[in-house]
Amino acid sequence: MAATSGKLRPPFRLLLLLLAAAVARSVDGVELTLLTGAREKGAVCLDGSPPGYHLQRGFGSGEHSWFIHLQGGAWCNTIEDCSKRKMSAYGSSKFMRAVEFNGILSNDQQLNSDFYNWNRVFIRYCDGASFSGDGEAQDQDGSTLHFRGLRIWEAVINELMGKGLATAKQVTRQSFMIHWHSDQEPCQRVIRLDKNHSCFIGTLIKNHVNEFHFSSTHFRPYSQVALLVVWLHYCTAMIFMQDFLRRFQLNAFLMLDFSLILRIYPGRGTCGLYSMELFIFRNKFVDDIEVVKDKKDWGLFIDSCFTHCQTPFDISWNSQASPVLGNKTVAEAIGDWYFERSYEVKEIDCEYPEIDHPVHHPPRTCSVHTRAAATGEMPILPRRRYAEPLLLLLLAAVARSTAAAPDVVELILLTGAQEKGAVCLDGSPPGYHLQRGFGSGEHSWLIYLEGGAWCDTIESCSNRKTTELGSSKLMEAQEFEGILSNNQTVNSDFYNWNKVFIRYCDGASFSGNAEAQDQDGSTLHFRGLRIWQAVLDELMEKGLASAKQALLSGCSAGGLATLLHCNDFHARFPKEVSAKCLPDAGIFLDILCSSEDLSGKRLMWSVFNGTVQLQNVSEVLPKDCLAKKDRTECFLATELVKSITAPTLIVNSAYDSWQIRDTLAPVGSYPGQSWLNCTNDIGNCNSTQMEVLNGFRKKFVDGVKVVKDKKDWGLFIDSCFMHCQTKYSISWSSQFSPVLGNMTIAKAVGDWYFERSKTVKEIDCDSKLRSPVLPRRRLAEPFLLLLLLLLLAAVARPTAAADVVELTLLAGAQEKGAVCLDGSPPGYHLQRGFGSGEHSWLVFLEGGAWCNSIESCSRRKMGVYGSSKFMKAAEFNGILSNDQQLNSDFYNWNKVAIRYCDGASFSGDAEAQDKDGSTLHFRGLRIWEAVVDELMGKGLATAKQAILSGCSAGGLAALLHCNDFHARFPKEVSAKCLPDAGFFLDVEDLSGERHMWSVFNGTVHLQNVREVLSKDCLTKKDPTECFFPAELVKSITAPTLILNSAYDSWQMDPFLDSHGPVAKLTFGIAVPHKSKNKFVDDVEIVKDKKDWGLFIDSCFTHCQTPFNISWSSQASPVLGSKTVAEAVGDWYFERSYEVKEIDCEYPCNPTCSSQLPT
């Protein structure tokens, strides 16, 4: 198949576009608050537990503004339905977790500019009648079902009134906003369809409408209430909407939900009839809301997109993919309506065009729409064209779901900030995030300056001080990725350095030294220079002063700050210290928008001039420049580089996306949409626009020409359309990192810093613009499919996000001698079972390779695989998921993930002296025993069903401890083992070395693992050989299913990577096949074992149970017509006579989404 380039085919653009918003940014997880005194008030969930809500406090101008969002989730209309519901988060707060705030609930100012700083409340739905019922009934088991939705509504609102809602104000009016949506159709059980497709409404839905929609008395005390009613559903609207709208006297904004059409109208086989029914549906809705057109202060946003719920999701709320009516996105329309910025907002979309042929991309803005029902294809397609590489960027953000997640590093506030006068714009102390180095990086330091534009007027700085870019009060912990990552694979040169991320809160690139009076009479503190000096001084005391290697970096405004402070940073160290600077995206140009399409203004000059004058940045500017030129000109990077003496490498795009969008072609500087289309998708740029962009590039290249003659300096100037590349793993070092001179950014920076190359001065060509992080190498379409599938598994199911389960540390660990490598207590994550799974247990052992020498174990104890000090809460996915659809057999079991911190598959029992004199504790066996003993006390002892599983090194541990696990239960308990990717082979690699033998041999002897090995094996063979699964399976008596790839990607790496591309070309697929044959031979013994199972696929992967995509999805491997999840379930519950499947040789299985590299 030919490689793709330029544009993706529509299905690729479609799926990636829909998923873009889910990965484009991190979102807040807001904790659950349970209602106080719920039982006394009779305000309880179906099961009698207290209801809950999530509150995120407002700040700044939004401190006294409130937004209330009522969760949706269908209804229960029979005792049986409500009984089932009370065993879930929709009927009991026992199952509720923290939630992410997206869309209209987001605190991202760019995404949600009107409401981002409001007090935002998400009230959980646990009554089954849209917060409207007031009764009770006896459940089938004799307990009480509490139908107290109305009391929940009243009690929660009353509690919020006491928390500040009573004093809510917006401008001068008393107001707050009520937001209601449902994410499932009301017709699901209540509605029945006859041959004419008419609706019959049951008693419950009548009660629902009468009691909820018409109970406007709840709001009458508030004369200026804004009611946002979203998603009035088909059946409810058909019967009740006209009457409801006439009787309701409050301000409202209505939106239509089209997503029920296919469920309500089953006539899919005939396109003509189906099309007619769609229009009947729309026309009935439009007729029913006709009354709204004459209602003052009301609004309408009725689009024709085939979707459901648009406000709670970033992509539909306010993004390039948001529906647009009257030139407004959903967010803009609601903001204009609420704040009365428009005379009126009453938009009703036109009829759905070309219903028989919707794939023709009708020229409107819905990112999703219906297909002709008869096609049977996915009913969504993008309305706009997007460049493939932008989508690749968004895709790759989650394509590495199996890699270690970025570390989250806590904020440290500067000590004595007020006394030093080193404060943020609002007077709060500045902050930074410090992650200590280890091993060879213990005395190496990387300082990274945050970016975030500038403020150049009193008004803009006043606005800024109410955000995290002007106040530490709003700063939170930070993820470290890219050049800050501690992942050796992603960041091989700097992963173990001391890394510091200094927060930016002054608005002048850490350079100002002044103050001014704000509009409200308070003081605006422009103390960026003092912040720089004070934070560096504090870091010098924390070890920076004794650094042997140091690097100052930063991105955007932080990149400019790197240039401003480079000489000062370099001067702080002795000459023998390698202190260098790495500004990223810090070269901002003084460009004149002289094209006939543009305004002719010097926008960058204007911003810098205001900043320089307002904040008094003269002290950081080069003296030689100030003697000849204006201060503003000296603030430009093209002048700064002339005065810098320290070794510096400039990383930048010659087509910097931020400057092109915000200073070269900002909105308003040109007529029409031509430049907007160009800057949103560079594939849409015409020849004239390309001339302007190439002129920008030429000016950029001219500005850095001085660097070419500077010794010890470097350049990495690519032609990708992006801004900031060092701080993101995808652009720093991945398959999508820009490549110049056969070097990724990470490799180029490393080669320059460590002087592995004589020179690193790369400037990309200008023959053709590349989009964000588009690689030079050509990507085959199958590879895009693989990445797409990975992304789908990570984000395609936003209503069923993985539960985040907190860490539990083992009680009395030190007394039991059951400790991690560093002596800290081990930990596990326990999620309680419920319903039919209350007495069933799944114990999962974490994997993560081994340490087989003092040196490797010493390094390991400084991370999450050797110390619980670094462990965080864990997401439960795959076989650990509580999503019934994804994990139907085990979703409601008690599930335990035991963390791996010993380095010998939970098997060692020894200790040794580390190089620094401390003790290395090899106590994996004691950890296993102590944690399982603790779990036995928590209910495992009374289990009726139990599985021991684990992945990789944890899969090997599942084999090592399988007999012990099985022996802990009575014979009538179904206790079985499921090792995943734990079958490691003793084979020679391409160099003739026995790599796995070497690793295992060191581990076995260093950590003393003999106690867990088979006694039969030890009488005949070496302990190392007995540590291999091929020997272990001979001694296991418990029922076991071996799940593995015969082409295990982790084990194949020595074959395909360690010896370079020559080895790949020479040996081709022969070596993997040889490995596969060895694997099949080793598991041959299993074929004759009763109650055992095999699921040996030929996919190039490693670990398949802990990930949704491989466990149970469209991309899960299939053998014998079963996915992994189905095969495991059939084997465990004995639904099949036997499950012993071994795949054919690669590449015969088309269901493998992971393929061998070529």
Q: Tell me: the pLDDT tens digits for 890-918? A: 999 999 999 999 999 999 999 999 988 99
Predicted pLDDT of residue 157: 94
- The pTM assigned to this predicted structure is 0.44
802-1142 matches 407-779 in CATH topology:
yes
For residues 1028 and 1079, the answer to whether their CB atoms sit within 8 Å is no
Q: Which residue has the higher pLDDT, 742 or 215?
A: 742
Question: Catalytic: which of 54, 146, 213, 723?
Answer: 723
How does the average pLDDT of the chain come out, rounded? 79
Could you tell me the pLDDT band of residue 210, with boundaries at 50, 70 and 90? very low
pLDDT band, residue 73 (cuts 50/70/90): confident
Domain boundaries, the chain: 10-322+330-398, 407-779, 802-1142
CB 209 within 8 Å of CB 95 = no
> CA 24, CA 103: separation in Å to the nearest integer?
13
pLDDT level of residue 28 (50, 70, 90 thresholds): low
- Assess whether 472 carries a catalytic annotation: no
**CA angle (1146, 1148, 1154) in 5-degree steps:** 60
Cβ atoms of 175 and 183 within 8 Å: the answer is no
- How many other CB atoms sit within 10 Å of the CB of residue 96? 21
User: What CATH number should be reported for the domain whose range is 407-779?
Assistant: 3.40.50
The pLDDT value given to residue 251? 52
Q: How many CB atoms lie within 10 A of CB 432?
A: 25
Q: What is the pLDDT of residues 323-364, one digit of tens each?
A: 888 788 889 889 888 888 877 888 887 765 433 332 233 333
Copy the structure tokens of residue 690: 């390309």
User: What confidence category does residue 668 fall into, taking pLDDT thresholds of 50, 70 and 90?
Assistant: low
**What confidence tens digit (pLDDT) does each residue in 448-493 have?**
999 999 999 999 999 999 899 999 999 999 999 999 999 998 999 9
Rounded to 10°, the helix 234-247/271-288 angle is 20
Strand ranges across the sheet with 761-763 = 412-413, 431-435, 498-502, 444-449, 549-555, 578-584, 649-653, 714-718, 761-763
Question: For residue 238, is pLDDT > 60?
Answer: no
Of these ranges, 226-240, 591-605, 632-646, the one predicted with the greatest mean pLDDT is 632-646
Rounded Cα distance, 302 and 312, in Å: 17
pLDDT tens-place string over residues 136-149: 999 988 899 999 99
Phi, psi (rounded to 5 degrees) for 298: -95, 165
Specify the higher pLDDT residue, 294 or 837: 837
Three-class DSSP category at 979: strand
Please report the pLDDT score of residue 814 as a whole number.
Answer: 93
Distance CA 644, CA 699 (A): 20
In the chain, pLDDT over 70 holds for what percent of residues? 75
* pLDDT tens profile 958-993: 999 999 999 999 999 999 999 999 999 888 766 677
Q: pLDDT tens digit string along 867-884?
A: 999 899 999 999 999 999
Which are the contacts of 157, defined by CB distance < 8 A and separation ≥ 6?
Answer: 68, 165, 218
Highest mean pLDDT among 390-404, 541-555, 578-592, 781-795: 541-555
Annotated active-site residue in 426, 456, 506, 656 = 656
CA angle 620, 626, 631 (to 5 degrees): 70
User: Following CA atoms 533, 552, 450, 424 in sequence, which dihedral angle do they give, to the nearest 10 degrees?
Assistant: 0
Strands (E), 297-420: 299-302, 346-348, 407-409, 412-413
Model pLDDT for residues 623-646, shown as the tens digit of each residue: 999 999 999 999 999 999 999 999
1017, 987 Cβ separation under 8 angstroms? no
User: Is 590 annotated as catalytic?
Assistant: no
Residue 266 pLDDT class (50, 70, 90 cuts) = very low
The per-residue pLDDT for 592 is 64
The DSSP annotation for 501-546 comes to EE---SSSTT---EEEE-TTS-EEEE-HHHHHHHHHHHHHHTTGGG
Q: What is the DSSP letter of 801?
A: P
Dist. CA 101–CA 107, nearest whole Å: 8
Q: Is 71 helix (H, G, I), strand (E, B) or coil?
A: coil
What's the rounded mean pLDDT across residues 256-262?
41
Inter-CA distances, 981 with 148, 253, 903, 1153, Å? 49, 54, 17, 17
In this structure, the strands spanning 827-831 and 779-780 are unpaired
Q: What pLDDT does 1073 receive? A: 58
**What is the mean pLDDT of the segment spanning 604-619?**
94
DSSP for residue 404: P
> What is the tens place of the pLDDT at every residue in 278-297?
556 667 777 777 777 788 78
Confidence of residue 770 (pLDDT cuts 50, 70, 90): very low
Closest CA to 978 of 1063, 879, 901, 898: 879
Looking at domain 802-1142, its CATH superfamily turns out to be Alpha/Beta hydrolase fold, catalytic domain (3.40.50.1820)
945 pLDDT tier (thresholds 50, 70, 90): very high
> Is a pLDDT exceeding 70 seen at residue 581?
yes
Query: Could you tell me if 857 and 851 are in contact, meaning their C-beta atoms sit under 8 angstroms apart?
Result: yes
Quote the pLDDT of residue 671: 64
Strand 444-449 and strand 498-502: pairing? Answer: parallel
Which residues are CB-contacts of 708 (< 8 A; sequence separation ≥ 6)?
Answer: 715, 761
Catalytic option among 462, 471, 485, 556: 556
Beta-sheet pairing, 827-831 with 29-30: unpaired
Q: How far, in Å, CA of 926 to CA of 222, rounded?
A: 63
Q: Cβ neighbours of residue 1038 under 8 Å, at least 6 residues apart?
A: 962, 963, 965, 966, 975, 976, 977
pLDDT, residue 1100, reads 83
656 catalytic? Reply is: yes
Looking at per-residue pLDDT, the higher value among 875 and 272 belongs to: 875
769 pLDDT more than 50 = no
